[in-house]
Amino acid sequence: MLVLKFGGTSVGSVENMTHVKNIINDGTKKVVVLSAMSGTTNALVEISEQIRLNEKESALILIQQLASSYQITIEQLLNDSVLIKESQEYVNNVFTNLIELVGSEHTTLIYNQIVAQGELLSTFLFSRFLKQEGINAALLPALDFMRIDNNDEPDSFYIKQNLDRILNENSEADIYITQGFICLDVQGNVSNLQRGGSDYTASIVGAAIEADEVQIWTDIDGFHNNDPRFVENTTAISNISFDEAAELAYFGAKILHPQTVIPVKDLNIPVRLKNTMSPDSYGTLITHHVHGEGIKAIAAKDGIYAIKIKSARMLQAHGFLKKVFEIFEKYETSIDMITTSEIAVSLTIDNPLHLDAIVEELEKIASVDVDQGMSIVCLVGNNIIYHEDTPHLFQVLQDVPVRMISYGGSNNNISLLINTDQKLNTLQKLQGYVFESQQEKAVAY
């Protein structure tokens, strides 16, 4: 069986929902994971924020605006009066509950309950639409099987057991629809897999049912060789390995939630990226196979903090790095990049939650400088550190102040730490150098 996940744009309009219907209605049984309609999760986050700030008036206005947009969607999507009535009741109930939260004390649970509504709405409406179109689909509530554990990791045993049971109970259905993103936590409260988490839901479900393939249907024709939001003339990559995709997703390639490949990689379940608006385009196939040599793709991740830890005591002293790492471990803060010299070590983190406490402890053993507003630019490709073109990279980057370089940590990755205000320039320069023709290169440099 296949698992197909459709993102926000793919379910963001009646026209696109019709594309989705046509893609999934091919007579084979499948699980379909849906995101919220595009814009909805952002709107819900904003509603939650206004409730947190106790800005009742603006929270109510935002709720009202979102509610009206769903009434319009119902009018455009459905023409069967019973299905319209059922959908209106569902939508009214969702928004009445949101209104009741205005004025209440804001907690993480309230936030989680609010942002969960997007996927609940999209799947409800889409399942009604399929019913109207005579398609035999069952709506499986993700909260009946999707659960994370104490470490916020998917509880694979629980998920598999419950999903198998629910699929069996609904064996007469041709298509199973479920919500991406949302799950329960160990206490049984509504939680989620973080922003963009519907991709992760799809691969968790794919692993649980040992799917033949997990397909991520989105608004672009596959994994591009650079970030199309910032760089022109990027192109789709036909084949990429699990490790390459994981690294690029971790370092900012928004097309995939960073954890997407983890559940399926060991089971060798391929992940295919496809464009809902252009289903005939090949897209990208992610497998164990490694194709090509040299730089394959570039991604960038913002919000990075660089920490320089400097101590004369580092000179010929063993055990210094151990002490440094123990402090990060104590605060459960992972380090992305690291470079060392004889008297200093520089490293980066992307989670500043415990930064003050970390700095306070580090200052007991060293002097510490923190730079924020940094970005990591990550270059990925098979054997890039040995590729003949790679040394020229430094020529390209001569105008860019690079704060740190990680080269040789693996054969397949080079990371650069730069100021975020240099990101656009760096990505564009690299695009010109790495991917455009020799002739264009000659003109550009």
Q: Is position 196 an interface residue for Mg ion (rule: CB under 5 A)?
A: yes
User: Site for ligand ADP (CB under 6 A): how many residues?
Assistant: 18
197 binds, options ligand ASP, ligand ADP, Mg ion, none, Cβ within 5 to 8 A by partner type: ligand ASP
The number of helices, as runs of H, and strands, as runs of E, in the chain is 14, 16
For 73-112, b where at least 16 C-beta lie within 10 A, e where not — what string? Answer: bbeebbeeeebbebbeebbeebbeebeebbeeebeeebbb
Residue 253 contact among ligand ADP, ligand ASP, Mg ion, none, beta carbon within 5 to 8 Å by kind: ligand ADP
Measured from the Cβ of residue 7, the count of other Cβ atoms closer than 10 Å reads 24
The residue within the footprint of ligand ASP, chosen from 36, 139, 347, 404 (CB under 6 A), is: 36
Cβ-in-10-Å burial (0-12, 13-18, 19+) of 355 comes to middle
Q: Cβ closer to Mg ion: 254 or 392?
A: 254
Binding window for ligand ASP (CB under 6 A); candidates: 57-65, 189-197, 316-324, 360-368 = 189-197
Give φ, ψ of 371 to 5 degrees: -110, 130
266 is in an annotated binding site: no
All residues at 6 or more sequence positions from 151 whose CB lies less than 8 Å from its CB, including other chains: none
Should residue 35 be labelled a site residue for ligand ASP when binding is judged by CB under 6 A? yes
Which residues inside 165-184 make contact with ligand ASP, applying CB under 6 A? 180-181
Judged by beta carbon, residue 8 or residue 283, the one nearer ligand ASP is 8
Structure tokens at 393: 């990279």
The size of the interface with Mg ion (CB under 5 A), counted in residues, is: 2
CB 157: neighbour CB atoms within 10 A? 11
Rank residues 29 and 195 by Cβ distance to ligand ASP and give the closer one: 195
Q: Where are the alpha helices (DSSP H) in 217-343?
A: 242-250, 262-265, 320-330
7 touches ligand ADP (CB under 6 A):
yes
Kindly state the tokens that stand for 271. Answer: 């992940």
In the complex, least distance from residue 388 CB atom to ligand ADP, rounded to whole angstroms:
24
Site string for ligand ADP, 22-61 (x = CB under 6 A): -------------x--------------------------
Residue 8 marked ligand-binding = yes
Instruction: Name the packing angle between helices 108-132 and 81-101 (round to 10°).
Output: 170
5 marked ligand binding residue: yes
Q: What residues make contact with ligand ADP under the rule CB under 6 A?
A: 7-10, 35, 196, 218-220, 223-224, 227-229, 253-255, 299
Q: What residues make contact with Mg ion under the rule CB under 5 A?
A: 7, 196
